[in-house]
Chains A and B, each alone.
Chain A
Amino acid sequence: MSSYSITEPSSRQKWVAGSLVIAYAIITLLPLVWILTTGFKSPTDAIAYPPKVVFEPSLEGYVNLFTTRTRVTQEQLEALPPPATWYEEIVRDRDMVIAGPSRYGERFLNSVIIGFGSTFLSVFLGTLAAYAFSRFKVPLKDDLLFFILSTRMMPPIAVAIPIFLMFRTLGLSDTHLGMILLYTAVNISLAVWLLKGFIDEIPREYEEAALIDGYTRFQAFYKVVLPQAATGIASTAIFCLIFSWNEYAFAVLLTSGTAQTAPPFIPTIIGVGGQDWPAVAAGATLFLVPVMVFTILLRKHLLRGITFGAVRK
């Protein structure tokens, strides 16, 4: 190439940048690979030292993740009819029978309900609030915005005890609604600030044009502002989901039965029938999937969202 431009990095620069990114990716991905492989190892392989890179894959971890099992004697085992399913067979090999399903499915579903519910609520309320802050004369606007941000300045867990007491009084302990409200309260400040930035970038002329074209302000918001804020909404949603999906401290404290999410549940798997690392790893692996799918679906928006200020003229 004979053309020369100041924005195009040289091949050497590209090579250095590329290596750095790859090195960083390896470092961050290694634990994930570890979790993923451990999920498919047998319990002995999982704790082998030095760690086994090549191993015989097994679904035992996944079977154990979804079942509860009881140990039986050899005579009892022989008295049973032959195993009807492949997973029963895996369990019988360990001298056990399946006693019933585990709670992982329920906990996972709780995570989905609470994670996506609070994300939806945060983004919904955040968008409306951000629009109002961006477009209207709100009394004490700067103070209100600062107050909203200030809720983020201490670690959320610092208020765990008051929240715990409050939830108990209000009957919100260990309920889906309680957790959704709590995660929304934590996420909303991020949502308002992020979205306000995005909406500020959308010129008012578009809404004004829509007003003149015969639309009401709400219709202008809905038809003109929202589609253009899609990028911001998508990236905000991802940030909110990642927080509420992974949140551990509040979940441990405020949920135990009905509304328990997966993060506090996964470690308890260890206790069931010895150090069952493959089952824990399987639980963690599956737990990653929804956030990954969500992020990949919104990936294009996310990239544009992060570089928003830079790309726009």
Chain B
Amino acid sequence: MAEVRLSNLSKSFGDTDAVDDVTMNIPNGAFVTLLGPTGAGKTTILRLIAGLETPDQGDVQIGGRSVVADTPAQRNVAMVFQQYSLYPHLSVRENLAFPLRSPLLKTPEAEIERKVAEVAEVLRISHKLNNKATALSGGEMQRVSIGRALVREPSIYLMDEPLSSLDAKLRSDLRIELKRIQANLGATLLYVTHDQIEAMTMATHVGVLDHGRLVQFGSPREIYENPVNLYVAGRLGQPRINVLPADMFGGAPTGAKTIGLRPEHIAQGEGKSSEVKRVEHLGDQIRLHLRLDGHDIVTLSENYQTVEPGDTVAIQPRNPLFFDASGARIA
């Protein structure tokens, strides 16, 4: 395992700036997620680190050494691809053993046997080892492709939305599993996703990408509580942050254009009266859809309160975020 540093990394394809001046430090043993919508440049960053793309500018260092001139094999990274993850002509066992048999590692057969069995055990695919790779369910395929990365001990694991094609249950199971494995191994992992829950729950560090630029990098908590701009604030939090005109509740700093209120940043009981439009019972919580001065607001309410559509609820902000006209955070 090693620290990975990206310095002023840029890559464009024709007119598209896929990666734009990204500087990021992935500490040894960290679980870093890159969060961004489709087309934000997540895959390109992984491919630049793996050596499948050459940067237009900037440097990639692994363990303190620049690797931009190295081949993918020399970089000693493991990667789980977004799709086409398994070699379709090989069995599950051969897929898992494939990296170990490489001329780079030349692992002895007994050792291969042991490692494959171990990884298969961890990922609960032992009973499928002799299956053809194509004769697996989506979830099993994805576990095998994660396994193919885990059999190695690379400088860094790169994972490109490895859980995105799975159903919700499996996804949350594997999320926990992956986090546990990473913690056990003390592995350095760069995990790319467009799913904020994945980003928030697993990561020690989150990087938020927007059109190839790294907008913010920090702990999940920091990013959630202290977003640098409206874009980052909007990417994290479920339900989404409410964005309203800055002067709605008064007390806005000068230059503020909008106020951002997370659902939990709305205190009920005092303030402006809003109309309840819809009530969603989520079991442990109630989600309230309110309407105030022509704006929709979503907030949360405790379970014991009985609120019905048509009721009136008084609300006021608590620790709001203010943004200027360009979307940058000012308070």
* A-to-B contact residues, CB < 8 Å: 203, 205-206, 208-216, 219, 224, 227-228, 230
Contacts and interface: CB of A to CB of B under 8 A. Distances in A.
A228 B99 contact: no
A228 to B, nearest CB: 6
Contacts of A211: 51-52, 71-73
Given A203-B83, A205-B81, A213-B98, 15 more contacts: A209-B79, A210-B87, A211-B51, A211-B71, A212-B52, A212-B78, A212-B79, A213-B102, A213-B148, A214-B76, A214-B99, A214-B103, A214-B105, A215-B104, A228-B89
B71, B76, B105: most-surrounded residue (chain A CB, <10 A): B71
B73 A216 contact: yes
B84 interface: yes
A186 B192 CA distance: 50
B87 A224 contact: yes
Interface of B: 50-52, 71-73, 76-79, 81, 83-85, 87-89, 98-99, 102-105, 148, 152
Tell me whether chain A's interface is mostly helix, strand or loop, or mixed.
helix
Contacts of B78: 212-213
A201 to B, nearest CB: 12
B51 to A, nearest CB: 8
B72 A212 contact: yes
Top-9 shortest CB links A-B: A214-B102, A214-B104, A213-B99, A205-B84, A227-B89, A211-B72, A203-B84, A214-B73, A212-B72
Contact of A212 (B73, B85, B88, B103): B73
Nearest to B52: A208
7 contacts: A210-B98, A211-B52, A213-B99, A213-B102, A214-B76, A214-B102, A219-B102
A234 B293 CA distance: 71
Contacts of A208: 50, 52, 72, 81
B103 A215 contact: yes
Contacts of B103: 214-216, 219
A206 B134 CA distance: 14
Contacts of A214: 73, 76, 99, 102-105
A212 B52 CA distance: 8
A69 B71 CA distance: 70
Contacts of B98: 210, 213
B50, B77, B89: most-surrounded residue (chain A CB, <10 A): B89
Contacts of B105: 214
A211 B52 CA distance: 9
Given A212-B79, A213-B102, A216-B103, A206 B73 contact: no
A209 B81 CA distance: 8
B155 to A, nearest CB: 12
A91 B76 CA distance: 75
A212 B83 contact: no
Contacts of B87: 206, 209-210, 224
Contacts of A206: 84, 87
Nearest to B83: A205
A300 to B, nearest CB: 14
A213 B95 CA distance: 11
B162 to A, nearest CB: 13
Nearest to B71: A211
Contacts of A203: 83-84
B300 to A, nearest CB: 42
A215 B98 CA distance: 10
Nearest to A228: B89
A206 B89 CA distance: 11
Contacts of A205: 81, 83-85
Nearest to B76: A214
A251 B148 CA distance: 53
B52, B72, B148, B152: most-surrounded residue (chain A CB, <10 A): B72
A154 B84 CA distance: 41
A226 B71 CA distance: 22
B156 to A, nearest CB: 11
A199 to B, nearest CB: 14
A262 B77 CA distance: 57
Contacts of B50: 208, 212
Contacts of A215: 73, 102-104
A135 to B, nearest CB: 13
A141 to B, nearest CB: 18
Nearest to A208: B52
A210 to B, nearest CB: 8
